[in-house]
Amino acid sequence: MTQTRNLIDENGMRTDGRTIDELREVKITVGTIKNADGSAFIEFGKNKIVAAVYGPREVHPKHLAQPDRCVLRCRYHMSPFSTDTRKNPAPSRREVEISKVMREALEPALMLEDYPRAAIDVFVEVLQSDGGSRCAGITAASVALADAGINMRDIVAACAAGKVDEKIVLDINDTEDKEGGADMPVAYMPTLGQVTLMQLDGRLSQEQFTECLDKAIVGCKMVYDIQRQALMQKYFGNETEVKEEQ
């Protein structure tokens, strides 16, 4: 984590030309996979990720079923061609960890008790990665879950913040992740105002920590607006508001 070059220039611009409070361009398309019950494709800067949701469906093997609630299973996977050098397609330690934190980030938003003895499978496939792929994955998975018609308390939006050149910046990219000072991915439920995921890689002072968390939450709210727009577009087209008939 030693910094080798300036990541923020004298004009306050970052390596990819953004200001410190700027999000990368985010684009979400809902319902991209026909065979899945719900799906979404997200482009988060250079990240390209597809999420698919199957279920609620019967649990196999049966012994995994819970009598009082639904089982949520997540799989985060990076395609071999998603990184600069080929990635071994076998699930790595990192992928297993992200699958777990992703499940824990989504679970609070889902009303799993509505589907006892069933399972919901979430598959997140990273086609191209550029730092912050877990946040983008959670964002896409949450939209895919809503598309699948699963009862949810809220949509989960995720965004990272971090420390670069001793400054707290929003939505750090791959370079800033590798060469910067700290990385804090946060998942957040905007309506309920609850954080469902917060990780921190690096060192922050108490003030920096608070600032970083606040900034990440602001980012999550921006991401939420895009999620909302994408879902509205898929289901209601251009008529985004009240439709009155007769």
Partner 1 sequence: MNDIRRRYVIPGDRVAEGNYRPLMNVVKSGNALYATRIGIAETGREGAKVIPLSGVYIPRVNDLVIGKIVDHTSLSWEVDINSCFSAHLPASDVFGRDFSPARDDMSKHLAVGDMITARVALFDRTRDPMLTLQDRDLGKVSQGELLKISATRVPRLIGKRGSMIQTIEQATQTRVLIGQNGVVVVTGRTPEGISMAVRAIRMVEEEAHTANLTQRIRVLLNVPDEPQAAPAANNVEAPKPAEPAADSAERAEEELEVESEK
Chain residues binding partner 1 by CB under 8 A are 37-38, 55-58, 67, 109, 111, 115-118, 146-155, 189-192, 228, 231-232, 235-237, 239-246
What's the min distance (Å) between Cβ of 34 and partner 1?
12
- C-beta closer to partner 1: residue 84 or 239: 239
**Strand residues in 31-166 grouped as ranges (E):** 38-44, 47-58, 71-78, 118-128, 157-164
| Contact call for residues 176 and 15 (beta carbons, < 8 A) | yes
On whether the CB atoms of residues 222 and 188 are closer than 8 A, the answer is no
Q: Which is nearer to partner 1, 29 or 151 (CB)?
A: 151
Nearer to partner 1 among residue 56 and residue 162 (C-beta)? 56
Nearest residue to 21 via CA among 218, 188, 191? 218
In contact, 145 and 53? CB cutoff 8 Å: yes
Overall residue count recorded for the chain in this entry: 246
Query: Which lies closer to partner 1 via its Cβ, residue 145 or residue 172?
Result: 145
Q: How far is the CB of 245 from partner 1 (least distance, A)?
A: 5
The pair phi, psi for residue 91, each rounded to 5°, is: -60, 125
Whose Cβ is closer to partner 1: residue 96's or residue 192's?
Answer: 192
* Beta carbon of residue 188, minimum distance to partner 1 (angstroms, whole number): 12
> Minimal distance in Å, beta carbon 152 to partner 1?
4
In the complex, minimum distance from the CB of residue 123 to partner 1, in angstroms, rounded to a whole number: 17
Contact criterion met (CB below 8 Å) for 52 and 33: yes
Residue 61: cis peptide before it, omega within 30 degrees of 0 = yes
Closest to partner 1 by CB, 5 vs 60, is: 60
**Tokens of residue 201, six digits:** 């890689």
The distance of closest approach from Cβ of residue 238 to partner 1 in the complex, given in angstroms and rounded to an integer, is 11
Separation of alpha carbons 190 and 171, rounded Å = 17
